[in-house]
């Protein structure tokens, strides 16, 4: 499988040199020259690795990393920088980059670093697939999409599974209707719509098991949260 790389570099000559080197190594490349370009590409496509030039159009791209990290698609990030001081390198890693390469560099060095990062990304996905999410008596198997409360298995639709997983990743966090609409259905808040209430009522009734403490709660006028009631105090 070809490694997918997004390259953000604003110097045309350097961009061309990187593209040629990576393509020669069999990687699939898209190039952009601004942070807007990065955000646009990340919101519509998935990449294994993002090669991010530190100074893009006079903007220090390190500051954008935390924001990029919040997007659902998270490639590994390698920073390219003419600043090679140890402090700059540490700053890069502190901001959440996975690797840092000083300019000038040999393209073979960049290729090797990208391969290492792509392998790490792949290994991370494996761990993710195997992982189990647990909150109190609730157990969610992310690999098989099976849900258990104690020893009882609960059958959910794909959408219900998505909602439950989101709530369970953030126990006791209150999710507003608007937030759920946005994150689960991908639509903007519409006060007329009762799609969230309907889905949550159905999900809660499926998740209510005799002799078990309730898991999903409604905060009046606020939203929904997941947790076992004795966790609220």
Alpha-carbon dihedral angle through residues 198, 200, 205, 210, given to the nearest 10 degrees: -170
Which residue, 5 or 203, has its beta carbon nearer to Ca ion? 5
CB nearer Ca ion, residue 52 or residue 226: 52
Binding mask of the shown chain, residues 120 to 159, with x at each position contacting Ca ion by CB under 5 A:
----------------------------------------
Considering the complex, state which of residue 38 and residue 196 has its C-beta at the smaller distance from Ca ion.
38
Indicate the residue among 55 and 209 with the shorter CB distance to Ca ion.
55
Size of the residue set binding Ca ion (CB under 5 A): 3
What one-character-per-residue DSSP string does 136-197 give? TTEEEETTTTEEEETTEEE---HHHHHHHHHHHHSTTPPBPHHHHIIIII-----TT--HHH
Which of 182, 48, 67 is closest to 124 using CA atoms?
Answer: 48
Write out the binding residues for Ca ion, residues 32-71 only, by CB under 5 A.
53, 55
Tokens 């991010």, residue located: 52
Q: Which of 6, 8, 10, 52 binds Ca ion (CB under 5 A)?
A: 10
Closest distance to Ca ion from the beta carbon of 164 (Å): 44
- Comparing CB distances to Ca ion, the nearer of 14 and 174 is 14
Minimum Å gap between C-beta 11 and Ca ion is 5
Of the listed pieces 4-12, 31-39, 110-118, 222-230, which binds Ca ion according to CB under 5 A? 4-12
Nearest residue (CB) to Ca ion, 10 versus 98: 10
- 8 lines the binding site for Ca ion (CB under 5 A): no
**Paired tokens of 84:** 């090679």
| Block residue for tokens 């999710």 | 175
Helix count (H) and strand count (E) of the chain? Answer: 8, 13
CA dihedral 198, 169, 97, 34 (to 10 degrees): 0
Give the interface with Ca ion as residue ranges (CB under 5 A). 10, 53, 55
């Amino acid at each position: 499988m070809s490694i997918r790389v997004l390259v953000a570099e604003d110097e045309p000559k350097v961009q061309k040199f990187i593209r040629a080197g990576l393509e020669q190594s069999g990687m699939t490349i898209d190039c952009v020259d601004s942070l807007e370009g990065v955000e646009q590409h990340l919101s519509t496509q998935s990449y294994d690795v993002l090669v991010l030039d530190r100074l893009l159009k006079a903007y220090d791209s390190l500051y954008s990393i935390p924001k990029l990290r919040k997007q659902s698609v998270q490639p590994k990030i390698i920073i390219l920088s003419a600043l090679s001081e140890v402090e700059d390198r540490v700053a890069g890693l502190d901001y959440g980059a996975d690797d840092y390469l000083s300019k000038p560099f040999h393209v073979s060095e960049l290729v090797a670093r990208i391969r290492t990062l792509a392998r790490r990304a792949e290994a991370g996905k494996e761990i993710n697939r195997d992982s189990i999410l647990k909150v109190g008596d609730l157990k969610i198997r992310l690999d098989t999409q099976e849900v258990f409360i104690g020893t009882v298995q609960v059958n959910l639709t794909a959408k219900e599974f998505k909602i439950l997983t989101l709530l369970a990743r953030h126990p006791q966090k209150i999710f507003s209707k608007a937030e759920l609409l946005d994150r689960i259905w991908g639509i903007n808040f519409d006060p007329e719509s009762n799609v969230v209430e309907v889905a949550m009522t159905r999900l809660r009734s499926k998740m209510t098991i005799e002799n078990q403490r309730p898991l999903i709660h409604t905060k009046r006028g606020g939203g929904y949260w997941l947790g076992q009631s004795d966790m609220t105090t």
